[in-house]
């Protein structure tokens, strides 16, 4: 192979490795190169991390040689690489896969070496190009379907999905040998399950029987591949109360899971609330936020292990689990009632009982096949109705890719039960205008729908007006007259696929669909605008963006899983995703003094369990860890790690700091100045909530009062966790609000307060930081009164858009309670200079304000001096003489509507407004400078951009919601000058 081909092969290996978890308990990779002889590049155990493996791929370089000996190379791999001392885990039944890549015919025989590999149980795949001989490849590969041939290697590896899929899904072999018969190889399907052990921690099991229970669980784990791609394990115990030991996503390899199970200690007690524990497991363990992959199709399994009688209503909870598609196994001994537990199991055959606990470890052999193969099915015929509509790109630009689009639709509808009283389907193409292919009521059988999709031709068109098409979907396709059953409470789904940016606004039409209860998915390909796709989708988790059409397939399971949910499950999932979509920056500040040395493992476990519940991989949550004693030391910053697994590894690698003094005050100052900063990953200036979790084990040696107040002043939400000798009063001084300080007696009890700590993390900031990051402490209630000034761009550029501006102002005013002691409104128009149409104290009732707005005339003029206008409203519109109540703490709100870039500087005027505690919102058209708007706005999220003023209604509800949440300021006294007289704001 020449240099170009080797580079192509190396790039394929890099891409493959990048998608896998690499390590001794995950995927291991070995590489050898050969010509006439064979050279080892790396053993299976050479690289334990993805990073080191990727960096070593440069060692793969072109080798000289005219002939190749494939047979000798196969023997080399078998004899020198697939050995336990070289990293092979063949003795542990880990699949052994070999991908052979060749460009010509072998100079030696391949038959014997290939057969030897098959007898060993190795699954061989063969990829050949140029002069490679296909018959030779078929001798080597374990089946003809595992031979991949192409004229050119670049072509072969550019579209290497079949090879990658085979390497990713072939999960094992069973080899049967006899003296005369050839080896028979059967592939075993990959196991994809979430398994939670629910262990009786009462005296009915007791410490004497605990080793048998632990061995039972460990025997199961040892027969599974634990990883985020295959099997995940969670563990709970219960007696009177349930207790979570670790979540499904806490540990991602066999060793860690086994180690944690080995450390299990029972809580004790004679009360056994099995039903309550099952309910707790369903609500807290089988959730996406803690690792459940139910939405990706992972089978959900609960294994209940108990030694005592049922003392509460476990039957109804078993039904809840079954309806949630959780498979319940029961394993019992001692005083447990075998017949009662058969009613608890998903089916009676999944209830196992032994007279003695010592028999449990051997029970695994009888259970294992059911644990990895049984699939629950609680689907019912009734209640499965859905209306599913597709809105696809029909422009000329997708002509060459239209087969991919047809295939995408077919794969979405493939698992659906289509029928008049079941699932209805519609397809619409769109370009400048929408073109229906068929309506929801057109076809009554799946066969008819499939034929219609297969026969669908491209409509054509030059550009996309997706916004208009969304309105068409709402008014026409998803209407009663065309087959929608929304009025009958049937779930409504819309799947939008676009390969380019929409020329019109999608935000408003998408919002109207969502308001009507439609659940839209956004799928963007090639040149689609990511922000538009996210705006279309029900929420960011329902938005998918890929570079190429061939990359659509991996998103299919997620769409199918949501569509297949029952109505109740769908509502629950949508609520869950909405809750999950909140961004957070979370800093753990951990006591690293000598006092915590023995408990540091429990502290790290506590932190990991919290991080396990966060949304790091989705880009929502960021995590930092700081340790302190006499002085602080950063473990890692908010922007150090972008994945949950990297954060977990970093926590595992934390070494205990040590130190005799505990200076909590200095540590609080340190994180405020050095960790909650933009340069280290904080997103506070974007309005992302900032949270500090402080963990201490004794009283501080320095004062915490000042630093604690500074945290609150900067709106950093502090949660205090105390252990053993921690000073609770000190933690309560630091906590953000009452109820945010917790204390436990010892380190092993930390996990008992996880739920309370996680609840504290969900708090929303009541107002965002001003530009310099400092804001006053505010009363948490929404204000019943506001002073609102509208500043309208009246320059020549906005003549055609001025009626839409007036309508917008009227619509906002309609939502207010206008009155002398309620909301006050003022309108100012500007271009080169400014004109106040009416002040805050001009009108005291809503109708008078609406009439005044209706009579506004466009002023005209140029240039557009936004900076001067901002200064004018600060000095005059928000003055006490004009009706402003800023001295009373009434929120001061400015809403700027502009059609272009300012002709003067806005920086100073915007900063002065914020110093005066005015909260500016900005709305600009496409001609406005969004960066300029963001610099004027209270924070960047308070700046909105629309295509034209006709689209301004699309952001109205969002703006109104934000305006309503602007809190009261603390009432302020007028400043006194040196002569003792009152001084006005300047």
Tokens 């949304």, located at residue: 615
Within a 10 A sphere around the Cβ of 724, how many other Cβ atoms?
A: 16
Query: Is the pLDDT score of 922 beyond 60?
Result: yes
Taking only the tens place, the pLDDT of each residue in 20-47 is: 888 888 889 999 998 888 888 899 988 8
| Beta-bridge partners for 226 | 231
Residues in Cβ contact with 883 at an 8 Å cutoff, skipping those fewer than 6 apart: 787, 824, 826, 839, 840, 841, 842
496: its two tokens: 């939008």
pLDDT value for 986: 42
pLDDT value for 170: 63
134: its two tokens: 């296909």
From the list 906, 879, 890, 886, the residue with the least C-alpha distance to 793 is 906
pLDDT value for 772: 31
The reported pTM is 0.31
768: its two tokens: 């965002």
Query: Is the pLDDT score of 625 beyond 50?
Result: yes
Mean pLDDT across the stretch 287-296?
Answer: 82
Query: Is the pLDDT score of 978 beyond 50?
Result: no
Angle between helices 644-652 and 600-612 (to 10 degrees): 180
752: its two tokens: 């008992």
Q: Domains in the chain, please, with CATH? A: 3-187 (3.40.50.410), 193-373 (3.40.50.410), 386-565 (3.40.50.410), 583-761 (3.40.50.410), 787-965 (3.40.50.410)
Query: Is the pLDDT score of 99 beyond 80?
Result: yes
- As a whole number of Å, the CA-based R_g of the chain is 33
pLDDT value for 405: 95
Helix/strand/coil for 188: coil
pLDDT-based confidence at residue 122 (cuts at 50, 70, 90) = confident
Mean pLDDT across the stretch 834-844?
Answer: 95
Cα separation, 378 vs 400, in Å, equals 42
Mean pLDDT across the stretch 441-465?
Answer: 93
pLDDT-based confidence at residue 473 (cuts at 50, 70, 90) = very high
Taking only the tens place, the pLDDT of each residue in 678-721 is: 889 998 877 788 999 999 999 999 999 889 988 887 889 999 99
Query: Is the pLDDT score of 737 beyond 60?
Result: yes
Burial 518-538 (b: 16+ CB within 10 A, else e): bbbbbbbbbebbeebbbbbbb
Whether 29 and 54 have beta carbons less than 8 Å apart is answered as: no
Cα separation, 841 vs 835, in Å, equals 16
pLDDT-based confidence at residue 598 (cuts at 50, 70, 90) = very high
Cα separation, 81 vs 402, in Å, equals 46
Taking only the tens place, the pLDDT of each residue in 142-200 is: 877 788 887 777 667 765 777 877 776 665 443 333 333 333 333 334 578 999 999 99
Mean pLDDT across the stretch 374-393?
Answer: 69
Q: What is the 3-state secondary structure (H, E, C) of 71-130?
A: HHHHHHHHHHHCCHHHCCCHHHCCCCEEEEEECCCCCCCCHHHHHHHHHHCCEEEEEEEC
Cα separation, 16 vs 561, in Å, equals 26
CA distances from 660 to 191, 347, 591, 700, 866 (A): 50, 58, 11, 11, 58
Whether 532 and 523 have beta carbons less than 8 Å apart is answered as: no
Q: What is the 3-state secondary structure (H, E, C) of 474-502?
A: HHHHCCHHHCCCHHHCCCEEEEEEECCCE
Angle between helices 802-814 and 846-854 (to 10 degrees): 180
pLDDT value for 769: 31
Tokens 């998803």, located at residue: 478
Cα separation, 393 vs 509, in Å, equals 17
Taking only the tens place, the pLDDT of each residue in 327-371 is: 999 999 999 998 899 989 988 888 999 999 999 999 998 898 888
Helix/strand/coil for 47: coil
Taking only the tens place, the pLDDT of each residue in 551-571 is: 887 788 778 777 877 666 676
pLDDT value for 551: 82
Query: Is the pLDDT score of 213 beyond 60?
Result: yes
Question: Maximum distance among all alpha carbons in the chain?
Answer: 113
Helix/strand/coil for 453: helix
Taking only the tens place, the pLDDT of each residue in 490-542 is: 899 999 999 999 999 898 888 888 877 899 999 999 999 988 998 898 877 78
Report the chain's mean pLDDT, rounded to a whole number: 85
Cα separation, 538 vs 491, in Å, equals 13
CA distances from 525 to 44, 294, 496, 504, 545 (A): 37, 26, 11, 18, 6
Cα separation, 930 vs 937, in Å, equals 10
Query: What's the chain's length in residues?
Result: 986
Query: Is the pLDDT score of 209 beyond 80?
Result: yes
Mean pLDDT across the stretch 224-243?
Answer: 92
CA distances from 878 to 785, 810, 829, 872, 976 (A): 15, 21, 15, 9, 19
pLDDT value for 617: 66
Cα separation, 758 vs 744, in Å, equals 16
Query: Is the pLDDT score of 323 beyond 80?
Result: no
Q: In 465-582, where do the E strands start and end?
A: 492-498, 518-525, 543-546
Mean pLDDT across the stretch 394-405?
Answer: 93
From the list 306, 301, 367, the residue with the least C-alpha distance to 331 is 306
pLDDT value for 981: 33
pLDDT-based confidence at residue 404 (cuts at 50, 70, 90) = very high
pLDDT value for 909: 92
pLDDT-based confidence at residue 644 (cuts at 50, 70, 90) = confident
Q: Which helix (H) or strand (E) holds 330?
A: strand 326-332
Query: Is the pLDDT score of 764 beyond 90?
Result: no
24: its two tokens: 């001794």
Of 259 and 566, more confident: 259
Query: Is the pLDDT score of 600 beyond 70?
Result: yes
217: its two tokens: 């669980």
Phi/psi at 603 (nearest 5 deg)? -65, -45
Cα separation, 645 vs 846, in Å, equals 56
Cα separation, 541 vs 497, in Å, equals 15
Query: Is the pLDDT score of 677 beyond 70?
Result: yes
Decide the pairing of beta strands 787-793 and 741-744. unpaired
pLDDT-based confidence at residue 976 (cuts at 50, 70, 90) = very low
Query: Is the pLDDT score of 833 beyond 50?
Result: yes
Q: What percent of the chain has pLDDT over 90?
A: 47
């Amino acid at each position: 192979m020449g240099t170009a081909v080797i580079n192509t092969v190396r790039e394929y290996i890099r891409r493959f490795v990048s998608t896998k978890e690499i390590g001794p308990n995950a995927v291991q990779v070995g590489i050898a190169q050969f010509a006439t002889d064979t050279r080892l590049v790396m053993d299976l155990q050479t690289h334990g991390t993805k990073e080191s493996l990727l960096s070593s791929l440069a060692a793969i370089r072109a080798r000289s040689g005219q002939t190749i000996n494939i047979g000798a190379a196969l023997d080399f791999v078998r004899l020198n690489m697939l050995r336990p001392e070289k990293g092979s885990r063949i003795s542990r039944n880990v699949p052994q896969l070999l991908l052979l890549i060749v460009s010509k015919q072998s100079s030696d025989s391949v038959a014997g070496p290939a057969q030897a590999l098959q007898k060993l149980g190795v699954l061989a795949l063969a990829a050949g190009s140029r002069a490679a001989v296909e018959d030779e490849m078929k001798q080597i590969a374990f089946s003809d379907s595992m031979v991949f041939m192409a004229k050119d290697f670049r072509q072969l590896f550019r579209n290497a999905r079949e090879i990658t899929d085979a390497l990713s899904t072939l999960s094992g072999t069973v080899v049967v040998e006899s003296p005369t018969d050839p080896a028979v190889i059967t592939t075993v399907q990959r196991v994809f399950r979430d398994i939670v052990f629910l262990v009786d921690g009462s005296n009915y099991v007791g410490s004497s029987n605990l080793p048998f229970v632990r061995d039972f669980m460990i025997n199961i784990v040892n027969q599974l591949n634990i990883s985020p791609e295959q099997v995940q394990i969670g563990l709970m115990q219960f007696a009177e109360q349930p207790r979570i030991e670790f979540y499904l996503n806490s540990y991602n390899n066999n060793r860690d899971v086994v180690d944690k199970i080995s450390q299990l200690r029972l809580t004790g007690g004679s009360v056994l609330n099995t039903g309550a524990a099952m309910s707790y497991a369903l609500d807290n363990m089988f959730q996406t936020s803690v690792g459940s992959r139910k939405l990706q199709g992972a089978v959900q399994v609960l294994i209940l292990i108990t030694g005592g009688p049922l003392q509460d209503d476990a039957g109804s909870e078993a039904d809840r689990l079954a309806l949630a598609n959780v498979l319940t196994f029961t394993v019992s001994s001692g005083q447990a009632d075998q017949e009662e537990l058969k009613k608890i199991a998903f089916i009676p055959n999944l209830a196992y009982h032994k007279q003695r606990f010592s028999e449990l470890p051997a029970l695994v052999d009888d259970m294992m096949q059911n644990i990895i193969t049984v699939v629950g099915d609680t689907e019912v015929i009734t209640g499965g109705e859905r209306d599913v509509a597709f809105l696809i790109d029909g422009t000329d630009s997708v002509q060459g890719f239209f087969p991919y689009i047809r295939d995408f639709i077919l794969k979405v509808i493939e698992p659906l039960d289509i029928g008049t009283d079941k699932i209805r389907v519609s397809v619409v193409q769109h370009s400048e205008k929408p073109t229906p292919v068929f309506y929801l009521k057109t076809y009554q059988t799946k066969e008819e729908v499939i034929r219609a999709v297969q026969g669908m031709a491209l409509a054509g068109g030059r550009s996309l007006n997706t916004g208009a098409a969304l309105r068409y979907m709402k008014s026409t396709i998803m209407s009663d007259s065309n087959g929608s059953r929304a009025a009958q409470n049937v779930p409504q789904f819309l799947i939008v696929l676009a390969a380019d940016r929409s020329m019109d606004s999608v935000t408003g039409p998408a919002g109207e669909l969502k308001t009507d209860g439609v659940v839209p998915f956004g799928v963007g390909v090639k040149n689609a605008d990511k922000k538009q796709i996210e705006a279309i989708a029900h929420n960011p988790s329902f938005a998918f963006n890929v570079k190429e059409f061939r990359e659509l397939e991996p998103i299919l399971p997620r769409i199918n899983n949501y569509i297949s949910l029952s109505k109740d499950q769908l509502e629950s999932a949508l609520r869950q995703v909405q809750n999950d979509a909140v961004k957070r920056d979370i800093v753990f500040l951990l006591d690293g003094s000598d006092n915590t040395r023995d408990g540091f493992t429990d502290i790290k476990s506590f932190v990991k369990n919290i991080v396990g519940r966060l949304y790091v991989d989705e880009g929502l949550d960021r995590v930092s860890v700081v340790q302190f004693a006499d002085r602080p030391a950063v473990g890692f910053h908010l922007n150090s790690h972008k994945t949950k697994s990297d954060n977990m590894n970093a926590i595992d690698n934390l070494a205990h700091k040590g130190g005799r003094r505990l200076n909590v005050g200095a540590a609080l100052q340190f994180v405020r100045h050095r960790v909650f900063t933009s340069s280290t990953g904080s997103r506070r200036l974007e309005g992302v909530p900032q949270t500090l979790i402080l963990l201490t084990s004794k009283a501080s040696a320095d004062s915490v009062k000042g630093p604690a107040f500074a945290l609150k002043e900067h709106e950093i939400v502090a949660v205090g966790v105390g252990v053993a000798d921690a000073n609770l009063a000190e933690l309560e001084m630091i906590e953000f609000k009452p109820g945010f300080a917790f204390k436990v007696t010892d380190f092993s009890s930390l996990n008992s307060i996880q739920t309370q700590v996680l609840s504290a993390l969900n708090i929303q900031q009541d107002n965002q930081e001003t530009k310099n990051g400092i804001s006053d402490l505010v009363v948490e209630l929404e204000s019943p009164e506001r002073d609102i000034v509208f500043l309208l761009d009246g320059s020549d550029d906005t003549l055609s858009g001025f009626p839409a501006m007036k309508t917008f102002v009227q619509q906002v005013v309609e939502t207010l309670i206008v009155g002398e002691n309620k909301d006050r409104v003022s309108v100012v128009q500007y271009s080169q200079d400014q004109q106040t149409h009416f002040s805050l104290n001009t009108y005291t009732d809503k109708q008078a304000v609406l009439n005044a707005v209706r009579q506004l005339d466009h002023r005209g003029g140029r240039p557009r001096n936004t900076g001067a206008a901002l200064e004018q409203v600060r000095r005059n519109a928000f003055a006490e003489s004009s009706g402003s109540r800023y001295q009373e703490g009434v929120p001061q709100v400015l809403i700027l509507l502009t059609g272009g870039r300012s002709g003067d500087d806005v920086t100073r005027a915007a900063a002065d407004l914020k110093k005066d505690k005015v909260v500016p919102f900005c709305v600009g058209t496409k001609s406005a400078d969004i960066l300029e708007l963001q610099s004027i706005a209270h924070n960047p999220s308070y700046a909105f951009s629309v295509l034209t003023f006709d689209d301004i209604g699309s952001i109205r509800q969002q703006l109104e919601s934000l305006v309503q949440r602007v809190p009261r300021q603390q009432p302020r006294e007028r400043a006194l000058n040196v002569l003792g007289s009152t001084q006005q704001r300047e």
